[in-house]
Amino acid sequence: MVVDLERQRAVDRVFHALADATRRDIVVRTLQAEHSVSALARLYPMSFAAVQKHVAVLQEAGLVTKRRHGREQLVAGSIDTVRGAAHLLDELEALWRARIDRFTELLAEDPTEEGPA
């Protein structure tokens, strides 16, 4: 049960991080190429500290990694975490499609026909 709780918390962190448009944009940019935090900060109408906080949320969720290169901190996106989120969404979609299919089957049944006794 503890493993499931930890996995749920990790998933919650990913979707919380992706709930913000700026963080989603940072993920997209860092999946395309590594960027320094200062280069990222120049792209948004906010302070360097605010961008650092966004990057920290993404890093905590495992959506980006940071590495030091000289005086810069370089940020790279983590495709594995993005794929994990996509996989979870695919599973949820499959579940709902199955429910909709079952609902459609129930609506298509002829109510005048007698089912098995």
**Residue partners of 73: CB distance under 8 A and separation at least 6:** 36, 37, 66, 67
CA 20/CA 14 separation, integer angstroms: 11
- Predicted TM-score (pTM) of this structure: 0.78
Confidence of residue 44 (pLDDT cuts 50, 70, 90): very high
Paired tokens of 105:
């089957």
- Which structural domain range is residue 61 located in? 2-108
| CATH code, domain with 99 | 1.10.10.10
Cβ atoms 67, 33 nearer than 8 A: no
- Domain contains 113: no
Q: Which of 83, 43, 33 is nearest to 63 (CA)?
A: 83
Number of structural domains (the chain) is 1
- Domain contains 33: yes
Cβ atoms 63, 28 nearer than 8 A: no
In tens, the pLDDT along 61-70 reads: 999 999 999 9
